[in-house]
Amino acid sequence: MYDDVRDAVAQVLDPGKLQYVVLLHFESDECGGMDRFLAGAPSSALACSAASVQLNLTGWNYRGRVEGHEDGEVIDLGAHKLRFLETPHVHHWDSMMLYEEKTKSVFPSDLFIQPGDQPPIVTDNLGTEMCGFYREMGIFAHEDPVRHVVDRLERLDPDWIHGMHGGSLPRATIPQFVRALREEPFAYQGKVLGRELPS
């Protein structure tokens, strides 16, 4: 996966000139290969939540430059500004999200997931499918911390939500997913990755 993603990035910019690699939570499908991106970009730094540094990076033999960010801090890239949102338990203790101020874009990590192959921009209402997928995978322990963050994201009034699994949601599609998260159950119900565990 690393080679595919790196080659795609290379169509837009030189991966050797990356300034930051941002880690939203510590799972291999989100952060696998981060060390290779950083090794290939000598001036780059890993940016993650302050909690990720304390809980996960410390003691993992990570030797690269790392910045742990707290809620509200901003990385100014010039054309874009990345504001950090600490979002504990959505879905890990150290989870965070990003808000890009120029394009009013939220990078919500694994929230607003859409199962299956999706186009780059999703306009279908897949809110019910999203909640069903969460119950099947068992990635959220409880609805409350998630709904608290959904309220917070709604106050940002984003134009875009760019999830890490699925397509980007434009402004008109976002309320359908928000409604599902408010009204439908999606927390852990005894299944992990589709496997029923003993009650």
Partner 1 sequence: MARIDEIVDGIYWISTTVTLTASTSASISS
Residues engaged in binding partner 1 (CB under 8 A): 1, 4-5, 7-9, 11-13, 19, 29-30, 77-80, 82, 100, 102-103, 105, 107, 113, 115-118, 120-121, 133, 137, 159-160, 162-168, 193
Give the nearest distance from C-beta 191 to partner 1 in angstroms: 13
Closer to partner 1 by CB, 74 or 121: give it: 121
Give the nearest distance from C-beta 178 to partner 1 in angstroms: 19
Closer to partner 1 by CB, 103 or 125: give it: 103
User: Which residues are within 8 A (CB) of 158 and not within 5 positions of it... i.e. 6 or more apart?
Assistant: 99, 104, 105, 106, 171, 174
Rounded CA-CA distance 96/109 in Å is 7
Cα 9 → chain centroid:
18
Reading the block at residue 172, the tokens are: 């008109």
Closer to partner 1 by CB, 69 or 162: give it: 162
Give the nearest distance from C-beta 81 to partner 1 in angstroms: 10
Closer to partner 1 by CB, 14 or 144: give it: 14
Closer to partner 1 by CB, 50 or 164: give it: 164
φ, ψ at 26 (rounded to 5°): -95, 80
Query: Residue 195: in which H helix or E strand, if any?
Result: strand 195-196
Closer to partner 1 by CB, 98 or 180: give it: 98
Give the nearest distance from C-beta 80 to partner 1 in angstroms: 5
Give the nearest distance from C-beta 144 to partner 1 in angstroms: 25
Query: 127 in helix, strand or coil?
Result: helix
Give the nearest distance from C-beta 106 to partner 1 in angstroms: 11
Q: Which residues pair with residue 83 across a beta bridge?
A: 74, 99
Query: 99 in helix, strand or coil?
Result: strand
φ, ψ at 139 (rounded to 5°): -90, -15
Query: Residue 133: in which H helix or E strand, if any?
Result: helix 127-137
